[in-house]
Amino acid sequence: MLNRMKDCVDAQIRDQQAGLRKDTLCTDQIPTPRIIVEQSTEWNSSLYINFIDYEKAFDSVDRTTPWKLLRHYGVPQKIVNIIQNSYDGLN
């Protein structure tokens, strides 16, 4: 089931998305903000950075959103139903 889902989603996600993908780590992206800040300083341009507390953000996600996203990325409805049923009753 995971492989079927992975194939559907991987076709939609850009190569720059590193987290939760095979052979990539979230930590691979750590140098990116540093490089952006350095270039902004070098070019003497304004820079605004926003960091998101995902723990709090995910606590506020509409519980139907993951299922909508899975369907959006082409995951077959049968697989979405199986995953959704495994979450029924969880808080």
CA atoms within 13 A on the CB side of 60: 6
Across 52-73, average pLDDT: 79
Looking at the predicted structure, is the pLDDT value of residue 91 above 60?
no
Task: Specify the number of domains making up the chain.
Answer: 1
Residue 28 host element (H or E): none
- Domain range enclosing 75: 2-87
User: Mind listing the pLDDT tens digit for each residue in 7-59?
Assistant: 777 777 777 776 666 777 777 778 888 999 999 999 999 999 888 777 776 66
Would you state the pLDDT for residue 45? 94
> pTM of the full predicted structure?
0.41
